[in-house]
Amino acid sequence: MLTIAVLILTAEQQIYDTNFYSLWEATALLAGDHPYRDFFEWGIPLQAMVSAGAQLLVGYRLIGEFLVQWSFITAGAVISMRLALRVSHSIAASLVTAVLAMAVLATTPTFHYPKLLFYPLAIWIAWWYLDRPSVRRAVVFGLATAAAFLFRHDHGVYLGCLAAATFALARLGIPALRNLRAACVESAAYGLTLLALLAPWAIVVQINEGLPEYVRSRAQLYREWSAGESPYRALWRMNPVHLLIPPPLPPPTPAKVSFEWESTVDDAKRAALEREYGLRLLARPDGGRRWSYEIPNLYDVHLLDLSDLINDAAGFDWNRLQRARSPLPTREDAQWWLEQTALLIPLLLLIAAAAEMCGAWYRAETIPLDTFKFALAAAFLAAIDRRLFREASYVVVVAPITAALGARLLVGRRPGDRNMASGGSPWFRRGWGATRWALALAMLLVTSIATYAYTRDTRIYQPLTLTGSVRDAFSQLLVSPPIDGNLSPDEVRHFDRALWNSGEGDRGRLLMRYVHDCTHAGDRVLVTGSTPYHIGYYTERPIAGGQLFWHHRWRSDPEHEMLSLALLQRQSVPFALSTHDPILEDFKTYPRIREYLVQHYVELEGSQGRLLIDRRRQPTGTFGVLGFPCFR
């Protein structure tokens, strides 16, 4: 119930491009496209099909996708809570860590929903299997691994590695369960389950694109979206003093900055602000809206008051200024601490498990099964942290499972437990217990402060203030066609030529509306940009050229480029649309496709290269008062 409440209260904050992660493929599937012929499905076949199925059920409304995401996240939170109770045997400790995870959930992009379910589910199944290994439980592990693989292939690889470690531990590492024949039978059952579920998909891929080629091209994206260097280096900079006590500001330092003024700042107000903040003009806007200035002191805290009046600023040290003004850590510093804590917890659990194993070996006692479970879960969490943390913000992906396992650090010895100090004197055991408690509580306190600082902008701690946004969010989630929730026809009518020429207003949403209203069934749109997943869904048109990862240079080698160009040449593509940079910039690494676009497409005047129109087509009408050519 707490998870659902957080998700609904923050629903309006979740409606943005990246959370449409699989909807561009779902749109293509609903249009009748074949995923290995008409577009290049990039490694999420089942996830795209689930998204498409949800759209069929709700009648092409955005609520379908978010219900899928919320359901998976809620299930993952419940499983994580169950894991916390298993490791701690304490409702209080489980609730304390769960509340921290729920706060982080308010900032979590919901497209991470498969990770938030499959990783806790994998640990739960592994523990369930270790309780009483059997063929049936091995088959269940196989079902989960296959589902994770088809949702996104790397998830399945991680679960497969965990399954292999679990089978080896159960039948070879734990003396009470050691049975080579049973290990072979259960491993075979697991493997046959995977084969039965994945073979049909693999056959389809082999017939159309070819499995070797499929693996090579998808691996390129996975490499780009995985951590390049070890994130564990961040632990060397773990410093609660730095987090809680801001360093002194450097001496006054002149600096060059650039930014765009807010539309509410007219010439008179701009001149007054320049005098107030000592801004010395270096360059006026040239073909854009960016102004360049020299400021007398980069570390003047008063500059924070200017931040509300400017956009897209460069050259300022906002993080340091915010630390000087507020006793709380900045969001960036808090995020660093949360990442470091997430990396540290599985290592601490591994150390504790190793100490218990050594203690049991020293006393010639049987190692408790729970110790093996903790070690297995901690090793799995440490491994996925290594792969996922390409940037500190990805801590949100493992927050629930890290909080669940971390609950073990907040409880003392239970009856029958052994720990590294159990063989020492009573005085030593009491001293170790007190030290351990002090360290755990200190870490919990600092992490709680960091969690608050990281999530306070979401207003999740003021739920009554968020209730007003729920109605607006659900009006967007429930409306059909979805584009009406993004930019309604009434809003389009207010977007006249003067507003367009001024560069004000939300051009991105207007261009999507234009493409939606001025194309017909059978047309496609060529889409590029950094995170353009929402374009195909809102325009209700499948993607042209087979993909939308041009910005990431995916399939840019000559052979794959020619395949994409062949698709473009035989498809009906009235428009090419970019969410960020000019389209031709993204296609510099695709010279043949770029040449094709230069030859047959023309830039829409005033779009700054972000929308191209097929010059070979004859317009059938115009778009609103703007008079853009329409092809519907």
Do residues 386 and 230 lie in contact, with contact meaning Cβ atoms separated by under 8 Å?
yes
pLDDT category at 286 given cuts 50, 70, 90 is low
Query: What pLDDT is stored for residue 350 in this prediction?
Result: 94
Task: Work out the angle at residue 562's Cα, subtended by the Cα atoms of residues 559 and 563, and round it to the nearest 5 degrees.
Answer: 90
Query: What pLDDT is stored for residue 237 in this prediction?
Result: 84
Task: Find all residues with CB under 8 Å of 144, minimum gap 6, and list them.
Answer: 118, 121, 122, 125, 159
pLDDT category at 101 given cuts 50, 70, 90 is very high
pLDDT category at 217 given cuts 50, 70, 90 is confident
Instruction: Please state, as a whole number, how many other Cβ atoms lie within 10 Å of the Cβ of residue 526.
Output: 26
Q: Which of 60-64, 154-158, 261-265, 392-396 has the weakest average pLDDT?
A: 261-265
Predicted confidence (pLDDT) per residue in 77-98, tens digit: 999 999 999 999 999 999 999 9
pLDDT category at 362 given cuts 50, 70, 90 is confident
- Which sign, positive or negative, has the C-alpha torsion 302, 303, 304, 309? positive
pLDDT category at 178 given cuts 50, 70, 90 is confident
Task: Work out the angle at residue 449's Cα, subtended by the Cα atoms of residues 303 and 110, and round it to the nearest 5 degrees.
Answer: 85
Statement: residue 432 has pLDDT above 90? no
| Domain 255-326 CATH assignment equals 3.30.70.80 | yes
Statement: residue 433 has pLDDT above 90? no
pLDDT category at 431 given cuts 50, 70, 90 is low
- Length, in residues, of the chain: 632
Query: Considering the chain, what percentage of its residues have pLDDT values greater than 90?
Result: 64
Six-digit token string for 572: 């009906």
Statement: residue 422 has pLDDT above 60? no
Nearest to 129 by CA among 80, 162, 89, 99: 162
Looking up tokens 């489980």 gives 94
**Which DSSP state fits 299?**
T
pLDDT category at 311 given cuts 50, 70, 90 is confident
Instruction: Please state, as a whole number, how many other Cβ atoms lie within 10 Å of the Cβ of residue 73.
Output: 24
Rounded CA-CA distance 370/376 in Å is: 10
For the chain, which residues make up each domain, given as ranges? 2-229+332-456, 255-326, 485-630
Distances (CA, A) of 552 to 526, 544, 548, 555: 15, 16, 9, 9
Rounded CA-CA distance 194/192 in Å is: 5
Query: What pLDDT is stored for residue 503 in this prediction?
Result: 66
Query: What pLDDT is stored for residue 182 in this prediction?
Result: 84
* For residues 250-265, average pLDDT: 89
Identify the residue with better confidence: 490 or 109: 109
Statement: residue 16 has pLDDT above 50? yes
Query: What pLDDT is stored for residue 594 in this prediction?
Result: 96
Statement: residue 266 has pLDDT above 90? no
Identify the residue with better confidence: 523 or 625: 523
Sequential DSSP letters for 56-120:
HHHTS-THHHHHHHHHHHHHHHHHHHHHHHHHH--HHHHHHHHHHHHHHHTTS-GGGHHHHHHHH
Query: What pLDDT is stored for residue 378 in this prediction?
Result: 96
pLDDT category at 424 given cuts 50, 70, 90 is very low
| Helices of type H across 479-620 | 483-486, 489-493, 497-502, 507-517, 533-539, 558-570, 583-586, 591-600
Predicted confidence (pLDDT) per residue in 319-342, tens digit: 888 888 888 888 889 999 999 999
Do residues 95 and 103 lie in contact, with contact meaning Cβ atoms separated by under 8 Å?
no
Rounded CA-CA distance 266/180 in Å is: 79
Q: Which of 138-147, 179-188, 474-483 has the weakest average pLDDT?
A: 179-188
Six-digit token string for 487: 């930019």
- Paired with 528 in beta bridges are 578
Do residues 59 and 42 lie in contact, with contact meaning Cβ atoms separated by under 8 Å?
no
Looking up tokens 């607006």 gives 472
Query: What pLDDT is stored for residue 412 in this prediction?
Result: 65
Query: What pLDDT is stored for residue 288 in this prediction?
Result: 61
Pairing of strands 575-578, 525-528: parallel
Distances (CA, A) of 281 to 145, 269, 300, 527, 574: 60, 15, 18, 38, 43
Which of 48-62, 383-397, 488-502, 617-631 is the most confident on average? 48-62
**Phi–psi pair at 527, nearest 5 degrees:** -120, 135
pLDDT category at 415 given cuts 50, 70, 90 is very low
* For residues 124-133, average pLDDT: 95
Task: Work out the angle at residue 261's Cα, subtended by the Cα atoms of residues 259 and 265, and round it to the nearest 5 degrees.
Answer: 160
For the chain, what is the mean pLDDT?
A: 90
**Phi–psi pair at 528, nearest 5 degrees:** -145, 175
* For residues 127-131, average pLDDT: 94
Do residues 3 and 102 lie in contact, with contact meaning Cβ atoms separated by under 8 Å?
yes
Statement: residue 416 has pLDDT above 80? no
Do residues 248 and 242 lie in contact, with contact meaning Cβ atoms separated by under 8 Å?
no
Query: What pLDDT is stored for residue 425 in this prediction?
Result: 45
Distances (CA, A) of 595 to 529, 583, 623: 19, 12, 28
